[in-house]
Amino acid sequence: MLGSGDGRLAKWLAWIVVAGAGGTLLGGCGTSAAQGTSSSSAAVKLDPSSGATNGRPTWSTSTACASGFQGSAVFREVHSDGTTTNSISPAVNGTTTPFHGTLQASIAEIRSIGGFRNGVTQKLVVICFSGPSLTGNSDREMTTYITYSADGTTYTTSGTP
């Protein structure tokens, strides 16, 4: 559903395909069925926690990844169908202490890629891995929720849906 005037989103989608082929963006666990389920709400947050959807806030965790899963981590959006195939951040190696990162797309692009309409809430998760660069076993550990305004221009986040 990309229009001809939506060049940035089209370029971002093309980048996902290229990066996914290299295993960086789409590597690790391909569905929402990560091996672990020790998810903690509000252990990950966006900064700012609300704002314009055309922005790219940073993200940070308040805890380290669980023992056995401290090799690396990635921040992912959960699609409307429940899968988590698209990373929204680069991999972060060495997650024995709280960590942070940047988003690879705007909030509006993340909403669109996930298949969400305006006015709904989407789940974002941090998935930790036992090895570096998203290798080894995975564990979905931290969750936050992002709610899009009815007109799609702003967002707010919270630890609960």
Residues 33-68 have pLDDT tens digits of 344 445 566 589 999 999 999 999 999 999 999 999
**Structure tokens given for 21:** 């082929």
Instruction: Tell me the mean pLDDT in the region 19-43.
Output: 43
| Candidates 3.30.460, 2.60.40, 4.10.320, 3.30.70; CATH matching 7-158 | 2.60.40
Q: Is the pLDDT of residue 73 over 60?
A: yes
Distance CA 159, CA 75 (A): 15
> Residue 18 pLDDT > 70, yes or no?
no
Model confidence pLDDT, tens digit, residues 84-140: 989 999 999 999 999 999 999 999 999 999 999 999 999 999 999 999 999 999 999
d(CA 38, CA 152): 31
Segment 154-160 shows an average pLDDT of: 93
Which residues pair with residue 132 across a beta bridge?
Answer: none
The reply to whether the predicted model has a pTM over 0.85 is no
Write down the pLDDT at residue 160. Answer: 83
CB 43 within 8 A of CB 75: no
* Tally of helices (H runs) and strands (E runs) in the chain: 2, 10
What pLDDT is stored for residue 146 in this prediction? 97
Contacts for 72 with CB less than 8 Å, ≥ 6 apart: 91, 92, 93, 94, 95, 128, 129, 131, 132, 133, 134, 135
Q: What is the SS3 string spanning 84-102?
A: CCCECCCCEECCCCCCEEE
Parallel, antiparallel, or unpaired: how do β-strands 100-102 and 92-93 relate? unpaired
Residue spans of the domains in the chain: they are: 7-158
72's enclosing H/E stretch is strand 72-77
The pLDDT of residue 159: 85
Token pair for 8: 């940035």
